[in-house]
Amino acid sequence: MKDKDQAPEPVVKILFVCLGNICRSPLAQGVFEKQAETASVLELIHIDSAGTHAYHIGELPDPRSMSIASTNNIDLSSQRARKVHETDFETFDYILAMDQDNYANLYADCPEQYRERLHLFLNFAPHLDLKDVPDPYYGGNFGFERVYDLVFEASEGLIKTLLENELADLESLQADSVTDSNSD
């Protein structure tokens, strides 16, 4: 029997990954969540972020990421940094690396059967012809504005991809999710 307050099962699970999980991937998570909400698909997607390294575990996102997010009406304050865990490869359908170093680190740790789940996030914005969301940690605010712009474009591409694939049958998925959340 289902708990009537239980959230419906997500249709697709997405993990954003950078190095420290305080600058780029938390911002990518926040931007993507907002776009998913606007597209009325947020309840169908499980969204998380993580870092390949453990430097900042438990910390809030960097204040510069919080600031550019807040300028765009996105609140990152519920996020805390965590490291990628070996179970993430099995759990998440899309594991999205912010840059090629992050991708190489993920690739090295990922069991072979899950490697097709790994992608460079900017592959979802092919018109940009870029591979990396640059690491803004040691730079100024401009770097964070650039990260925002890049993750915004890639998020739009990712939403479009999901709507053409896992979420293609949107009306019936949304009907199922309403039935799930009403059942006890």
Can 146 be counted among the known catalytic residues?
no
Can 135 be counted among the known catalytic residues?
yes
Give the residue closest to ligand 4NP by C-beta: 20
137 part of the interface to ligand 4NP, by CB under 6 A = yes
Mark residues 23-42: x for contact with ligand 4NP by CB under 6 A, - for none: xx------------------
Can 129 be counted among the known catalytic residues?
no
Selected catalytic residue, list 5, 23, 24, 117: 24
Q: Which residues contact 56 (CB under 8 A, 6 or more apart)?
A: 20, 21, 22, 81
Binding segment (CB under 6 A) for ligand 4NP, from list 16-24, 112-120, 156-164, 171-179? 16-24
* Contact positions vs ligand 4NP (CB under 6 A): 18-24, 51, 55, 135, 137
